[in-house]
Structures are given as C-alpha cells and as structure tokens.
C-alpha cells in the first residue's frame, strides 16, 4: 500500500531524472588543443598525461552510462503529467509532478504505473541510479585531482 501517493509520484519522477543524459565534461578547450596540435604547449608531460587521461575516463564513463540507460524515463513521461518550470535563463525543467492533480487522477496514474512495464524496470533503474552515482563520484574525484595538479603546474610557470 502506498502511504503518500503524491510523494510516490514525485519519487518516480525524480528517479527518472537519472535516466536522461547526464552532464558532460566541457571539452572545447581540450579538443581545440588536440586539433591544433598545441597540447604540447603544456610543458609538463605529467600534466598533459593527466589531462588526456581525465577526458578519456570521462568519455568512458559517459559511454558506460549510455549503455545502461533503460526505458524507465520515457515510460514515466507516458504515465505522469509533469509541471513545467522555466528558469530566468529560459531553461525548461520538468522535475516535478503536475501540482493540481486530483486524488482520483493520482489513483488512476498509480494504477497505470502498477499495470505498466514501469514496475519491471524499477530494479534496473535503481541499479542504474547507483551506477550513475558511482561514476559521478569517480569523475568528481578525478576532476579534483586534475585541478590540484593544474594549480601546481600554473604556480610553477608563474
């Protein structure tokens, strides 16, 4: 029995957010340096290697995330009406359940979820969420390490 039905729907929507493409590392400068052959301008070979490894690991993590994506997010969009929020910079978010649903509508939506294939995807999606979290933590640790290395390199050339 679901105790808090609106919260249940919100939890389903929040869980679906992991299933959409995750943020990517900004590669513009790195790709520019590679394409122009100017990565060698970074005089410290260790720093160059760490930069290349950072982007390689990020790409690998992104690829692994994409391989594990499930149908869960799309299924939630078919079943749960979303609230739309537009931020000051015109970014549209749909992270919340439509707020004015009646109890009857909520019950119908929950019955649709129970009778859909969404239930069978929840275990895979829960595992996927844990996987994305682990990859993200790993990427963050690598980013911090690279940041410290580059700070040290910057200080050595100042």
Paired with 97 in beta bridges are 82
The predicted-structure confidence for 46-73, as pLDDT tens digits, reads as follows 888 888 888 888 888 888 878 877 788 8
Residue 3 is predicted with a pLDDT of 87
Residue 21 is predicted with a pLDDT of 57
Residue 24 is predicted with a pLDDT of 67
Domain that holds residue 56: 5-157
**Alpha-carbon span 5 to 107, nearest angstrom:** 8
pLDDT, the chain, mean: 82
The predicted-structure confidence for 83-96, as pLDDT tens digits, reads as follows 888 878 877 777 78
**Tokens 């679906």, residue located:** 16
Residue 103 is predicted with a pLDDT of 94
In the chain, the number of structural domains is 1
> Can you say how many angstroms the Cα of residue 6 is from the centroid of all Cα atoms in its chain?
24
The pair of structure tokens assigned to 143 is 């980013």
Give yes or no for a contact between 56 and 145, defined as CB atoms under 8 angstroms apart.
no
With residues binned 3-state (H G I as helix, E B as strand, rest as coil), the percentages for the chain, rounded to 5, are 70, 5, 25
The pair of structure tokens assigned to 134 is 């682990």
Tell me the pTM: 0.56
130 vs 141, which has greater pLDDT? 141
């Amino acid at each position: 029995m679901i105790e808090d039905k609106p919260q249940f729907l919100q939890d389903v929507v929040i869980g679906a957010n992991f299933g959409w493409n995750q943020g990517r590392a900004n590669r513009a400068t790195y790709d520019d340096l590679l394409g122009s052959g100017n990565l060698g301008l970074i005089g410290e070979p260790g720093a160059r290697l760490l930069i290349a490894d950072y982007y390689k690991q990020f790409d690998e993590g992104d690829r692994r995330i994409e391989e594990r994506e499930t149908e869960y997010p799309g299924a939630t969009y078919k079943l749960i009406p979303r609230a739309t929020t537009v931020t000051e910079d015109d970014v549209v978010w749909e992270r919340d359940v439509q707020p004015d649903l009646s109890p009857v509508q909520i019950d119908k939506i929950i019955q649709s979820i129970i009778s859909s294939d969404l239930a069978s995807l929840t275990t895979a999606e829960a595992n996927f969420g844990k996987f994305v979290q682990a990859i993200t933590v790993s990427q963050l640790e690598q980013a911090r390490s690279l940041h410290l290395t580059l700070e040290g390199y910057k200080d050595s050339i100042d």
